[in-house]
């Protein structure tokens, strides 16, 4: 009976999505310690009870010190993704490969080897995870970069990760960063072009990294130079201006839930430059906060999206007064 009820909910969600009204879930940065694994399970259990068109995980499957670099940890998360009653899309975080080295608590691992293995384990199909799936268009050579559409909206994932996007640690890492960064920017531009061609009314990008160091909290003790985010942020700003319709960037990384408008703002002498009104940043919850974000899409809303934090009651940390 439970399986039949979930199937009915998913069919209803898909029907609403085709009409332009639907909702979906956003998660990321969960399960950083062994005692947080039950919290992760409760997040997935909460999602499973909802009528959602899909779920997106924006990276960091745990922490390197808690095994996020290991095949065993990946298998645990893959099983959770596969069990999702809704389609589930995943984009990588730095804790799956960039931070897989001794200095970040993962001795015996090498980041570029983990990246190759990650692509082979998580991105071999042209479809989402989940008991119900959606088709994904993947970028050649960078299959973790995906695109799909629903309800007149283009959705894009970008492989932009924390720890300065992998830049500045080793010469080999800098080479990987340069090639991936160019591919990310090309994929972003292709996503905007596809949205314009389809006359879509909005576009959403999902990635792991926080690329806005001027708005604390910012992870890792502050921005690094040369920055691994400047080029992608500048390319994003140009595309948002040209698109002139609602654009949302979803990310994790700082473990600080927020909805704001940081793009386009300039500090300094003289008049301040206003924020780009058609751009919104959404940061998902992260450990030790194990909750999720629900996004509502309405055909009648000129802003397209409404964002609702969803608190998982069993994961609320009780405090004494």
The position carrying tokens 């894009």 is: 156
First to last CA, the chain: 43
- Name the average pLDDT for the chain: 93
Q: What is the DSSP string of 183-201?
A: HHHHHHHHHHHHHHHTT-S
Q: What tokens does 164 get?
A: 């300065």
Count the domains in the chain. 1
Sorting pLDDT into bands at 50, 70 and 90, what band is 15?
A: very low
Q: 290 in helix, strand or coil?
A: coil
Q: Give domain status of residue 320, yes or no.
A: no
In a domain, 321, yes or no: no
Instruction: Decide if 288 is inside a domain.
Output: yes
The answer to whether residue 243 sits within a structural domain is: yes
Helix (H) / strand (E) element for 216: namely: none
Quick one: tokens of 86? 């809704």
Answer yes or no: is 36 within a domain: yes
Domain that holds residue 273: 2-314
What number is the average pLDDT over the span 212-240?
94
pTM over 0.85: yes
Residue 29 resides in a domain? yes
Tell me what the mean pLDDT of segment 285-313 comes to. 97
E strands, 36-152, where? 55-57, 88-90, 137-139, 142-150
Element (H, E) at 17: helix 2-19
Is the peptide bond prior to 140 cis by the omega test (within 30 degrees of 0)?
no
Mean per-residue pLDDT, 162-168: 97
Q: Is residue 49 part of a domain?
A: yes
Domain-located, residue 136? yes
Position 233 pLDDT exceeds 80: yes
Distance, in Å, from the CA atom of 304 to the CA atom of 296, rounded to the nearest integer, reads 8
Q: Over range 165-172, report the average pLDDT.
A: 97
Residue among 305, 299, 302 nearest 17 (CA): 299
Domain CATH code at residue 114: 3.60.21.10
């Amino acid at each position: 009976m439970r399986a039949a009820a979930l199937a009915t909910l998913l069919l209803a969600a898909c029907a609403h999505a085709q009409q332009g009204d639907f909702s979906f879930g956003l998660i990321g940065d969960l399960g950083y310690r062994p005692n947080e694994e039950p919290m992760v399970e409760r997040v997935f259990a909460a999602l499973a009870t909802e009528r959602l068109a899909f779920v997106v995980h924006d990276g960091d499957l745990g922490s390197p010190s808690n095994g996020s670099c290991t095949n065993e940890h990946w298998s645990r998360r893959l099983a959770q993704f596969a069990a999702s009653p809704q389609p589930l899309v995943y984009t990588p975080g730095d804790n799956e490969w960039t931070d897989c080295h001794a200095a970040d608590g993962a001795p015996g691992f090498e980041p570029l080897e983990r990246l190759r293995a990650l692509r082979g384990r998580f991105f071999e199909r042209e479809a989402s995870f989940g008991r119900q799936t959606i088709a994904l268009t993947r970028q050649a050579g960078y299959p973790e970069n995906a695109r799909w559409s629903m309800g007149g909206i283009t959705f894009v994932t970008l492989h932009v990760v924390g720890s300065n996007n992998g830049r500045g640690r080793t010469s080999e890492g800098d080479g990987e960063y340069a090639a991936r960064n160019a591919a990310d920017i090309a994929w972003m531009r292709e996503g905007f072009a596809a949205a314009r061609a389809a006359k879509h009314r909005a576009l959403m990008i999902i990635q792991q990294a926080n690329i806005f160091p001027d708005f604390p909290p910012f992870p890792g003790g502050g921005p690094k130079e040369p920055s691994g985010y400047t080029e992608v942020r500048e390319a994003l700003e140009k595309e948002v201006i040209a698109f002139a319709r609602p654009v949302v960037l979803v990310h994790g990384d700082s473990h600080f839930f927020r909805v704001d408008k940081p793009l386009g703002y300039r500090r300094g002498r003289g008049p301040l430059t206003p924020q780009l009104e058609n751009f919104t940043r959404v940061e998902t919850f992260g450990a030790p906060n194990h909750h999720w974000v629900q996004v509502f899409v309405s055909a009648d809303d000129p802003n397209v999206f409404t964002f609702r934090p969803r608190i998982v009651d069993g994961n609320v940390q009780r405090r004494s007064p």
